Amino acid sequence: MNKSSLLVKKKYYFKCNEENTPDALNETIRLIEDAFKDVKIRCIKKSRESSKNNNLFSPVDLNLQIKEIFKSKGLSSHRIKCVYPDTNIQISIEKANLFSKNFEDSEFTKTDFIEAYSKLLEELKDSDIKLYSKNKAWSRLTKGYISHEEEIKAELIAKQGKKYILNIEKSLYDDHSPFVNYISEDFVGFREMDFIHNVPSKDNLSSQNVGIEVQFGKYAFMVYNVCAKMKIFQKHGAIDYGIEIVPTKAMQKYMSTGVSFFEQFVWDLGERGSFSEDIPTIILGVEPNIEGYQMLERDDLEDVSIKANLIDIKY
């Protein structure tokens, strides 16, 4: 039987203290500790470095397990859309939408549409949005197109003889024209919190949100999460407090070179200090139990060194 699990071994209080920790943070830590009982060491990653042990823990598998277990406890991720300045995306989308509206409630032929659409393509050829070709655009309009995995049929457009009438209410979605094929990733992005735990107050009249980040990676991401991302999500009203989960030095010794650890992270935060804009955050240092370390000695675990998109792992 696989008796391995993850344990919360160390805690560091940033912008708060142990004696006066908000109830929402304490409740979230209890949930995390309970969830970690179900995290198993079931895969290994082969080391390619002479300075490391041959078998290492697999962050890919651990992250997958944590995601599924947290999800089963009602936690989910949360995204904030990034709106960047100094791009032509918004004005380009407005022009594409205006093009659609110009055909609203007026009869037109395929030739009318193709001629007008060709002019739009030329006008937006250097835009950060890309439109479908004129033939593809006409096909999507008359035969239906895909929006959020749901097919919208040709009810978008009514045909009367050789002329058509566009139903504008059904042709626009997400503020985008149905003819927008692609928006440059250089100017469209998002920030995502791994998990958010909504904690009701004791009287159930209000609640607070705790943002949770799991980081088995480089120290720069750890510092960014606490000193930048947590504040961004608080500013947008998504969270009130934060929790950052990182490996301890004891666990990091059995992970790839480059992975940071709790003790280094605490030193970084201590040297930086806290500022008025920072939000109360608790850093949790985690590591496997004894059985978890012993699992590295087994020879029947799956090697996931080159399986970055691990989907299904057997115990």
Residue predicted with more confidence, 59 or 165 = 59
pLDDT at residue number 313: 44
Stronger pLDDT, 197 or 219, i.e. the higher one: 197
Q: Which of 179, 107, 98, 168 is nearest to 138 (CA)?
A: 179
As given in the structure block, the two tokens for residue 17 are 């203290």
- In degrees and rounded to multiples of 5, residue 170 shows phi and psi of -100, -5
Residues 291 and 5: their CA atoms lie apart, in Å, by: 8
pLDDT attached to residue 173: 47
Rounded-to-integer distance, Cα 157 and Cα 144, Å = 9
Q: Tokens 């037109």 — which residue?
A: 108
Q: Which domains does the chain have, with CATH numbers?
A: 6-83+187-303 (3.40.91.20), 89-183 (no CATH)
10 Å Cβ neighbour count for 20? 8
Give the model's pLDDT for residue 310.
45
At residue 111, does pLDDT exceed 60?
yes
56-97: per-residue pLDDT in tens?
Answer: 999 889 999 999 999 999 999 999 988 776 678 778 888 888
Q: pLDDT at position 169, please?
A: 58
- The phi-psi region of residue 249 (left if phi > 0; otherwise alpha if psi is between -120 and 50; otherwise beta) is alpha
Q: Quick one: pLDDT band at residue 51, thresholds 50, 70, 90? A: low
Q: What is the mean pLDDT of the chain?
A: 84
Q: Both tokens of residue 135? A: 């033939």
pTM above 0.75, yes or no: no
Q: What is the pLDDT of residue 205?
A: 86
Segment 261-310, tens digit of pLDDT? 999 999 999 999 999 999 999 999 999 999 999 999 888 888 876 544 44
Give the C-alpha separation, 168 to 43, whole Å. 53
